[in-house]
Amino acid sequence: MQERICFFCKRKIEPGTGKMFVKRNGTIFYLCSSKCDKNMLGLGRNPLKVKWVKKSKV
């Protein structure tokens, strides 16, 4: 099985969980939870500015 990593928070996604979002240009985003989904797609937040993300610079 292919190991997937969340595009927003950089956590590993267990097989059978998470969401796959495909943009019109063919870019694929894997998201681990609804928290990441809402922050990225719904609210349009930058992962570098969110404190709970692993690689944040805040």
The model carries a pTM of: 0.81
In a domain, 16, yes or no: yes
Mean pLDDT (the chain, rounded)? 90
Q: How many domains does the chain have?
A: 1
Report whether 41 contacts 20 (CB < 8 A): no
In a domain, 29, yes or no: yes
Give the structural domain span for 24: 4-49
Q: Is 5 helix (H, G, I), strand (E, B) or coil?
A: strand
In a domain, 55, yes or no: no
List the CATH number of the domain containing 15: 2.30.170.20
CA distance 49 to 32: 18
Does pLDDT of 16 surpass 70? yes
Q: What pLDDT is stored for residue 56 in this prediction?
A: 57
In a domain, 12, yes or no: yes
Q: What pLDDT is stored for residue 19 in this prediction?
A: 94
Number of neighbours of residue 47 by Cβ within 10 angstroms = 19
In a domain, 14, yes or no: yes
Pairwise pLDDT comparison (57 vs 25), residue with the higher score: 25
CA distance 4 to 42: 22
Q: Where are the beta strands (DSSP E) in the chain?
A: 4-5, 12-13, 19-22, 28-31
